[in-house]
Amino acid sequence: MNSKHFLDLDPSPRILLGPGPSMAPSRVLRAMATPLIGHLDPEFIALMKEIQELLRYAFQTENELTIPISGTGSAGMEASLANFIEPGDPVLIAVNGYFGERLCDMAGRYGAHVDRIDRPWGEVFTVAEIETALAKKHYKLLAIVHAETSTGALQPEIADIAAAAHHHGALLILDTVTSLGGVPVEIDAWGVDVAYSGTQKALSCPPGLAPLTVSPRAREILHTRKTTVANWYLDLSMVEHYWGDTRTYHHTAPISMNYALREALRIVAEEGLENRFTRHRTHAELLWEGLTELGLPPLVPIEYRLPTLTTPLLPEGLDEAAIRRHLLGEYNVEIAGGFGPLKGKVWRIGLMGFSSRRENVLLLLNALRELLRY
């Protein structure tokens, strides 16, 4: 093989304004170049403790079992289901977008008897309709998406939903993949039992780890399972010992990704959560105003619109894919199209973490103005 055919890496300097990954700060990328040490080295174990402390801050929790799963956000989703579902368990899943559908798919694969409550893509659930669904039978758990990446909808009233789940004896599993670090996520105050996220969205870290937090109540249910967790790699009853005081070997953690996550979380802590939430909201409002002026109003009503991910409605007949190609080719700006029932009807524009910057919003709006010939 002639190695000269394989050139040096030189990707185009993209401005990532899609649904993920977001752009990563240079500090995070530099952290990934830090020399490797062993995953059981005392220095790495000390670093693991720091990552857990920083994750607890981001999640606003005191949960001891708060760790990054070695895998992308989908691994966090799967860990959240695999560890708390046993064959035959009845589970209720709220579906108002693609990632609710994925929760149903995964839960079914672990032998759950899945019931679902549905809303059209782009809408959110009321506490009353979730309460009604929970009352129909005794469910082991309720799973719901906090920030639906396929639609740009932010589910409100999580604390009330958690209270309803607990009243009916169910755990609440919350998908925070597109909310953690960009909008308030208050695990303890809301009473959430299990929450998972991804590193590549509002945390502005490359994809590869999935932050996860598990309440003491949920952890007790994990420890009293009658059957073995069906997924060995994601079995928290083993993984918790690797991240706990015993540091028992389970798998080789991705050292460089943990370096990156630690630095990304340090940036979150330096900025402060409230300042971070304000920044995301300010830039989202600038985007919403500009899109509306261009005749591209957001799909989701403002009262439950997600600041980290916007879905503008597209005029009928627009070759939206061609616009996206021109954005990428002429401006180095990436946004994404819709899919499922929203395919061809919306774009998905992400302002997450380091990507949520005023200059990025203005560049995108001016580029769209040129491409749409306004």
Residue 4 lies in a domain: no
Check whether residue 258 and residue 298 sit in a common domain. Answer: no
* pLDDT for res 368: 98
d(CA 363, CA 365): 6
Same domain? For 66 and 40 the reply is yes
Q: Find the CATH number of the domain harbouring 41.
A: 3.40.640.10
Angle between helices 127-134 and 158-167 (to 10 degrees): 20
Contact 205, 262 (CB under 8 A): no
What is the pTM assigned to this prediction?
0.97
Q: Residue 274: CB partners within 8 Å, gap ≥ 6?
A: none
The owner of tokens 């200059």 is: 359
**CA end-to-end span of the chain:** 52
Whole-angstrom distance, CA of residue 144 vs CA of residue 169: 16
- Residue labelled with tokens 């995964």: 106
Q: 125 and 198 share a domain?
A: yes
The verdict on 66 and 215 lying in the same domain is: yes
**pLDDT mean values, one per 10 residues, the chain (374 residues):** 84 96 98 96 95 98 98 98 98 98 98 98 98 97 98 98 98 98 98 98 98 98 97 96 88 96 98 98 98 98 98 96 97 97 98 98 98 82
299 and 202 within one domain: no
Domain enclosing residue 80, as ranges: 26-269
Does residue 170 lie within any of the structural domains? yes
Same domain membership, residue 206 and residue 143: yes
Q: Does 52 share its domain with 142?
A: yes
Query: Are 205 and 319 part of one and the same domain?
Result: no
> Within this chain, do residues 315 and 230 fall inside the same structural domain, yes or no?
no
pLDDT of 207: 98
Last residue of a domain, one of 254, 269, 284: 269
Cα gap 356→372, rounded to integer Å: 23
Q: Are 146 and 179 in contact (CB under 8 A)?
A: yes
- The token duo for 25 is 């700060």
Residue 5 lies in a domain: no
Residue 276 to residue 181: CA distance in whole angstroms? 7
Within 8 A by CB and 6+ apart from 197, the residues are 73, 76, 176, 177, 179, 180, 181, 203, 210, 211, 212
Radius of gyration for the alpha carbons in the chain, expressed in angstroms and rounded: 21
In a domain, 1, yes or no: no
- Dist CA 214 CA 82 (whole Å): 13
Q: What is the pLDDT of residue 374?
A: 56
On the 0-12 / 13-18 / 19+ scale of CB atoms within 10 A, 200 is buried
In a domain, 2, yes or no: no
Whether 242 is covered by a domain: the verdict is: yes
User: CA-CA distance, 220 to 217, in Å (whole number)?
Assistant: 5
Same domain? For 104 and 227 the reply is yes
Question: Alpha-carbon torsion 127, 133, 135, 137, what sign?
Answer: negative
Helix (H) or strand (E) holding 62: none
pLDDT value, residue 327: 98
CB count within 10 Å of CB 74 equals 17
Contact 171, 140 (CB under 8 A): yes
269, 291, 326 - which closes a domain: 269
Q: Is residue 3 part of a domain?
A: no
**Tens digit of pLDDT for each residue in 98-142?**
999 999 999 999 999 999 999 999 999 999 999 999 999 999 999
Number of domains in the chain: 2
95, 105 contact by CB (below 8 A): no
Q: Which of 222, 248, 269 is the last residue of a domain?
A: 269
Question: Looking at the structure, do residues 342 and 246 belong to the same domain, yes or no?
Answer: no
Q: How many helices (H) and strands (E) does the chain have?
A: 13, 14
Domain with residue 308: its CATH number is: 3.90.1150.10
Q: Confirm whether 206 is domain-assigned.
A: yes
Report the distance separating Cα 29 and Cα 257, nearest Å. Answer: 10
Q: Are residues 96 and 139 in the same domain?
A: yes
What is the C-alpha separation between 255 and 253, in angstroms, rounded? 6
CA distance 354 to 234: 29
Tell me the two tokens of residue 292: 């509306």
